[in-house]
Amino acid sequence: MKKRRVMISRTKIVIIAWLVAISAASPAQQTPALSVRPWMNSTFGPAERADLLISAMTAEEKIQQIAMNPVANTSIHGCGLSRNGRHIEGIRRLGIPTVRMTNAPAGVVGGDCDPNPPATSLPDQLAATASWDRRLWSSWGDIVGNETRATAHTIVLTPGINLGRIPDNGRNFEYAGEDPFLAGTFAVEVTKSIQRHGVLATGKHFVGNEQETDRTTMNVVIDDRTLHELYLLPFEMAIKDGDLAAVMCSYPRINGVYACEDEYTLNTVLRKQWGFKGFVMSDRGATNSTVPSIRAGNDLEFANPKYFTEAAIKEALASGQLNMDQIDTMLKRRFYMMFKFGQFDSPVTGFRPIDFARHGQSSREMAEQGAVLLKNKDGLLPFSAASVRSIAIIGPATFAGKAVMGGNGPRSVPVQSSYTISPEKGLQNTLASLGSAASVSYNDARDIDSAAALAAGSDVAIVIVGDRSIEGRDRPNLELPTIDNVDQNALVSAIAKANPRTVVVLKNGGPVLMPWLDKVTAVLEAWYPGEEDGNAIASLLFGVTNPSGKLPVTFPADEREAAASTPSQWPGLPVNSMRTATYSEGLNMGYRWYEANGRKPTFPFGYGLSYTSFELSHLVVTPRVTDGRAPIHVQFSIRNTGSRPGAEVPQLYVGLPSAAGEPPKRLVAFDKITLAPGQSKRVELTIDPTASNHPLSIWNSSGQRWSTLNGQYQVYVGNSSANISLKGVLAVRTALQR
């Protein structure tokens, strides 16, 4: 009779040897023996180390590790209380480091330390996205990762990956615009840069959290195809290309099921379809159950636990509704990422110094590159430092009297910057650097007549206005609100009437209506620029920097357009006593809706002017016929036809065959090209059909897979979704694969 072969894994052998060593030791020796922990052997892989650690934990220790708790940060001098509860206390016996989480919508803020330590105030995420510059996105993530680690935190709750479906969304400034490929590309670059510092990035909010109105109790109705092609896609890119460590499940119900209890999105899509190995945490208060949440794949309850408490978990285990293997799985997902990114091997032990000067210069560059020149009639801008003698800065103190940072408003905490540059100070700095003695006068516009008088007596007038986009509340409409008792629309009209050389600088967290647009000569969209606000804006207005930003969101012409066309779409209507927002526009969201309906917005997606001009020519698509899997190379020439150096963003869109039932085109590639006057460059953009953004494919809901159709695909190259300079065709014949 053949002997049975006994297979024992290396992990089990290590555990057995470790237990034997401990049991053989005398009581006096046992404590030192525990310091020799096999899971701390860095030659093992992160999965094996996680298994070894979990095998050594007691049931109570495991339960303690699946929920956050607001306790004192006694191990970090100067960190103070964990009032926000973004904290999982470590276990010294096992060498498990304490987890401290912070936020970063526009720089590190609102973390586990009280008070918040100083950090760099960056342009908000929407402003950074508007640069369309991967290098700057990487820099944005690098600063966030560096300062998260420097302020004694290990996890950062960024990037924001929800889409700008609704222009009124109060948190659009925390996201990366309306296009899933653009948002996903931003998330990939930011995630990679953050995690190079051993900090875990968290993509949020998964999924369907495109509005703030009743976000904790509402239901969103999204068909499966739209869900995959738009709202899931940037998360898929961040996970597959950015190695995202964590995902935060969102507040709303998705087609009737709470997002943090949704087995389809958390298990079927996230883990089975995408192969996600990281962990899921809930948003604050977004966990609504114990057993259903854990069974669906929610690994960690965020802050002040209500459902993942010791009592609730023990009750579920005792009743058989849960088993310890499920708890082990929850822990393994987080420990895996902590081991992978070195948090056990190099734990946080205290604060580190921050190079605020260097980070401030990077913040300034991001603010400059992300600003979008929307209008420049008769070439008013850039101002000439040699000819301008007097400058009026006019606007509410909130926007014109100080630097504006992301999180501006009573329910969003701004970054505790080490310094800020106001518009007045920034203009003075720039004028001095240009050798100008021009005067700069500021009026807070509380008396519009006096503000108009100042404008009339000045060479140029700069009106600075904006909005307060904040978490927890959508904007009631797209009008510029009354701020500091100033009717901002009336102010702009009055100043434009008083001085034809009026420039409007917008500081806002999303699209706004501009009833005064025809009355003003120039408009510069600055978003929330961060601590270097004044320097960046002055540099742009006087041409030290040439504007090159492009809109990551469409600016609508009317209050109710696209996905906000009806109340059932936004903010939703009562259905069974619950607000329900129906994504009935389907795939026609953002610029896709305008294209599909032949409607013209105020400013289209991808739009942005420059102080120079560019020409695109000589399009070549290779190959012209493909099997739907091989890379496609799109080449063209770009030339700076103006008199100033500058940067342009050529954008590549693809239109699928009519049988696909898609909007007219989708963004699939872009690049930012800097050229001297008269300089030209041959550019190549690649369409990889197998890439994580599925550029040529549609989601097949019945088969739960991506499909590429045979047929003719249109190729478009331009400098906005509405301004296409070059057109080509591409044929896909999947039969070529056989």
Contacts of 598 (CB under 8 A, 6+ apart): none
Contacts of 662 (CB under 8 A, 6+ apart): 587, 655, 656, 698
Active site residue 283: yes
Place of tokens 């840069």: 193
Structure tokens at 471: 């978490």
Structure tokens at 274: 């995408």
Q: Fill in the amino acid letter for 55.
A: S
Contacts of 439 (CB under 8 A, 6+ apart): 389, 390, 391
Contacts of 698 (CB under 8 A, 6+ apart): 225, 229, 656, 660, 661, 662, 706, 707, 708, 709
Closest by alpha carbon to 138, among 190, 101, 214, 91? Answer: 190
The alpha carbon torsion through 82, 87, 88, 91 (nearest 10 deg) reads -50
Nearest 5°: phi and psi at 687?
A: -105, 115
Catalytic option among 124, 283, 467, 533? 283
Cα–Cα distance for residue pair 626/619, rounded to 1 Å: 17
Cα–Cα distance for residue pair 86/508, rounded to 1 Å: 29
With 0-12 CB in 10 A as exposed, 13-18 as middle and 19+ as buried, what is 565?
Answer: middle
Cα–Cα distance for residue pair 492/154, rounded to 1 Å: 45
With 0-12 CB in 10 A as exposed, 13-18 as middle and 19+ as buried, what is 484?
Answer: middle
Cα–Cα distance for residue pair 578/584, rounded to 1 Å: 18
Cα–Cα distance for residue pair 212/471, rounded to 1 Å: 7
Q: Fill in the amino acid letter for 209.
A: N
Q: Fill in the amino acid letter for 625.
A: V
Contacts of 264 (CB under 8 A, 6+ apart): 257
Contact status, residue 207 vs residue 265, Cβ threshold 8 Å: yes
Cα–Cα distance for residue pair 345/508, rounded to 1 Å: 42
Omega into 547 within 30° of 0, i.e. cis? no
Cα–Cα distance for residue pair 145/189, rounded to 1 Å: 12
Closest by alpha carbon to 723, among 608, 552, 637? Answer: 608
The interaxial angle of helices 324-340 and 46-55, nearest 10 deg, is 140
DSSP letter for 166, please: S
Cα–Cα distance for residue pair 180/164, rounded to 1 Å: 9
Contact status, residue 368 vs residue 127, Cβ threshold 8 Å: no
DSSP tally for the chain: helices H, then strands E: 20, 31
Helix H or strand E segment including 622: strand 614-622
Contact status, residue 650 vs residue 683, Cβ threshold 8 Å: yes
Cα–Cα distance for residue pair 113/73, rounded to 1 Å: 7
From start to end of 434-531, where are the E strands?
439-443, 460-466, 482-483, 486-487, 502-507, 522-525
Active site residues: 283
